[in-house]
Amino acid sequence: MTKSKNLIAIGLITSLFFIWGFALNLNPILIPHLKKACQLSDLQSSFVDSASYLAYFLIAIPAALFMKKYGYKGGILLGLILFATGAFLFYPASIVRNYGCFLGALFIIFSGSAFLETAANPYITVIGDPAGAAQRINFAQSFNGLAATLAPFIGGTFILSGKSLTPAQEAAMPPDQLSAYLAKEASSVQIPFIVIGCVVVLVAFMIYKTALPEIVEEGEGQDLHESKPMWERYKVLFKEKGLMLGAMAEFFYVGAQACVTSFFIRFSGRVAGLEEKPASHYLAAGMLGFMIGRFVGTALMRYVSAVKLLTLYSFINVMLILTAVFTHGMYPVYALMAVAFFMSIMFPTIFSLGIRGLGKKTKEGSSLLIMGIVGGAVFPMIMGRISDVSNIQWAYLVPGFCFFGIFLFARKNLKVKELKVSAGH
């Protein structure tokens, strides 16, 4: 590839990091919005995360198998098509104001996202000079952090109306007036998701027209492991203790991340009296801390081992969650904003510990770690149920439990001195 075409390819693949990061970080906006528009309980509203993360769990292995047969470019294009289709389906879902339709659209979006995540990390490492691979993947990952910062702000501005009614106020409204209010709330997702769908279609067209190098891992297809049936290959991996513990730690981490961010706006309203839009801006500021934390963590790892940093950060987050649960006013909100900073290094560090020493089994091992993302489908439901039967503040003990699990995992790996940290989630 020529240098100019190479730069175009790098730019297009880098855009994928922003795309899936933006979609995933719209969930904290969609949860309170759909709770209001579809008149849901906290448990029901948590299904937004369940539909999203369940897609990752179910599609991770099929995505890997698809790309083995049709190549990474084919997987990226299919992922973008699925992503755009799901975004466009938000329009009819908002017209019928059916929660199941919204969840179906989200499942399709994140099925596409699973393809994109599976392909983008290895792709960005092989496009261009091998000596700059680490620099490219860190640069691309920074756009994921940028998306995490912008999504709550943009989503809060264009989706959230800032107007919420109590159950008593809804009950007092005439049926036709209540129906009009709910229809207007539901319709606010139409334009944002149509724009998202159009942007993704444009990116898909540009990637289709761009020549991208195909990836062939060194030694792939030359080992008995490669010739075994899929079940036999994964059966061997189940005996890798480090990989299984890593998958469990990712299960806890993604569950904690989803819980902390997804209920942030509702938590801020209940505990600190913040309205929807200001709360979304506080969330955006917290996610800016998440992005900054990635850079700070990378710098600190020159002097402190990644595992020690993971141990310290997970312990700090347990303390911050306890602060959020047992204090009042704005202090709990500030504590949750700080949690985002200390979450920043967790996914990539856990991921790197999980795949350590797998060799040619790394590809299948990586897909098992990605399947750990299903924690984001499970823990928010538990949190939503606790919130329904008690209150949202007590429900935040759920991510505290998750961070404690990560702390135990990190302590078990303290003897690991050198660790090459992969791209984060």
Q: Among candidates 397, 299, 409, 398, which has minimal Cα distance to 347?
A: 409
What mean pLDDT is reported for the chain?
87
Tell me if the pTM is above 0.75: yes
pLDDT greater at residue 71 or residue 274: 274
Highest average pLDDT, of 83-87, 147-151, 219-223, comes from 83-87
pLDDT at position 170: 78
pLDDT at position 99: 96
pLDDT at position 156: 93
Residues whose CB is less than 8 angstroms from the CB of residue 125 and which lie 6 or more positions away in sequence, other chains included: 133, 136, 137
pLDDT at position 161: 86
And the tokens for 335? 């504590």
pLDDT at position 224: 45
Half-sphere exposure at residue 61, Cβ-oriented, CA atoms within 13 angstroms: 12
Residue by residue, DSSP assigns 43-97 as: HHHTHHHHHHHHHHHHHHHHHHHHHHHHHHHHHHHHHHHHHHHHHHTHHHHHHHT
Arithmetic mean of pLDDT, 26-35: 95
Indicate the range of 69-73, 85-89, 393-397 predicted with least confidence.
Answer: 69-73
pLDDT greater at residue 136 or residue 301: 301
pLDDT at position 274: 95
Read off the pLDDT band of 231 (50, 70, 90): low
Read off the pLDDT band of 311 (50, 70, 90): very high
Arithmetic mean of pLDDT, 207-225: 64
Q: Is residue 164 scored above 90 in pLDDT?
A: no
Contact between residue 202 and residue 195 where contact means Cβ atoms under 8 Å apart: no
Read off the pLDDT band of 133 (50, 70, 90): low
Q: Is residue 323 scored above 90 in pLDDT?
A: yes
Arithmetic mean of pLDDT, 385-405: 97
